[in-house]
Amino acid sequence: MASVAELKAAIDVALQQIGDGQTAVQAAGEKLSEAQQTLAGALEGSGHETVEAAQASLTQASQELDECLAATLVAVEQAQLYVSTL
């Protein structure tokens, strides 16, 4: 069985990894936003359904990244709450 100190250290490592993941997700969100703007500019005025589908897919991906970040925030809060009980 791990000691309290070892458990806290392992949780700290996990929290750092979550932070790294959050940074990557935020960067991906920024790139998706840039892609949406580029695509919108390049295809402005096009009413083709594939253009609309591409934009909708990018919007969905952006929303899912936001949901991912929200889930990681909850995970961090829960881990921190657990650590505070140790």
Q: What is the pLDDT of residues 2-60, one digit of tens each?
A: 788 899 999 999 999 999 999 999 999 999 999 999 988 887 777 778 888 888 999 99
pLDDT the model gives residue 25: 96
pLDDT the model gives residue 82: 94
pLDDT the model gives residue 67: 97
Helices (H) and strands (E) counted in the chain, each on its own, are 2, 0
The answer, yes or no, to whether residue 84 has pLDDT greater than 90, is yes
pLDDT the model gives residue 75: 96
Cβ-based neighbour number of residue 79 at 10 Å: 15
